Amino acid sequence: MNVPEQSAAAAFQTEDRGAPRCVPAIRFDGVAKRYGEGAPVLEAISLTVNRGEFVSIIGPSGCGKSTLLKLVAGLSPISAGAVEIDGMTPANARETVAFIFQDPTLLPWRTVRANVQLGLELEGVARDRRDAKVKSMLALVGLEHVAESYPRQLSGGMKMRVSIARALATSPRVLLLDEPFAALDEMTRDRMNEELLRLRGEHGWTVLFVTHSVAEAVFLSDRILVLAAHPGRVACDLPVELASPRTAETRGSEAFDRAVAEVSRTLRQVEHTGRVR
């Protein structure tokens, strides 16, 4: 159940961002997940993510954040309820969804170019179209100059950009990211956050983003879902209303600091009590 708290929501309303998005992209209807005969990992998840929204998911370890993404991607079966992506089941919507993991999972024996074109190869896209798409994606993430390099020759941030380019090459409408920047140093992570927002602005994806960083969630998101654990459920659904475009200067603003403090307070309440008082 969603239990948004008025005082929490009010802290984020720093400007009017215009008419709300109202075209559903992802729906969870009474979703539950359990493994075998064990206790449920997720229970009674009902929510809607509208087209073009960037929604971050935070919460204590074991609350089912990554599991939620896997259900959307069709990588794990749903135990009860239903998930829809643009009105389709996860199995039928796979071509419209891209999943980016914390580990870039690049194939070490393939060049950057060959890694980016992997999904297109699997889809049977013609060679000339593959080449054009890969060139476009590498330009988009600023990696044309390392197209013939191998993963071992790249920095952590560059590997993650290759992973993003590979995901985007298949032209997804929904982007699922499971702590993709957790292993990066703070400066690189901040740059990748800014890059992600720039790309999202150009492509208009619907994004579900799992993170343990409150500051990262606030910087990136339109909404933040705070999950409680045992079983995982939505304890709070917070809008984030910060001025756009969000840049490095955003992190130094009073509005940003207030938002981070408010989400942190809410997260602590959920971790200690399982709900928002």
100 contacts 178 by C-beta, under 8 angstroms: yes
216 contacts 196 by C-beta, under 8 angstroms: no
Helix (H, G, I), strand (E, B) or coil at 132: helix
C-alpha 208/C-alpha 225 separation (Å) is 10
Mean per-residue pLDDT for 75-85? 95
Does residue 167 carry a pLDDT above 50?
A: yes
C-alpha 188/C-alpha 12 separation (Å) is 26
pLDDT at 276: 65
Per-residue tokens: 166: 């590979």
Does residue 8 carry a pLDDT above 70?
A: no
For 134-169, letters b (16+ CB in 10 Å) and e give: beebbebbebeebbeebbeebeebbbbbbbbbbbbb
**DSSP conformation class of 106:** -
Note the pLDDT tens digit of each residue in 22-64. 789 999 999 999 988 888 999 999 999 999 999 999 999 889 9
Length of the chain: 277
First to last CA, the chain: 14
Which of these, 221, 267, 234, lies nearest to 17 by C-alpha position?
221
pLDDT at 39: 85
163 contacts 178 by C-beta, under 8 angstroms: no
Task: Supply the pTM of this predicted model.
Answer: 0.86
Per-residue tokens: 246: 């969000």
May I ask the CATH class of domain 1-10+22-86+173-277? alpha beta
Provide the residue ranges of all domains of the chain, joining segments of one domain with +. 1-10+22-86+173-277, 104-172
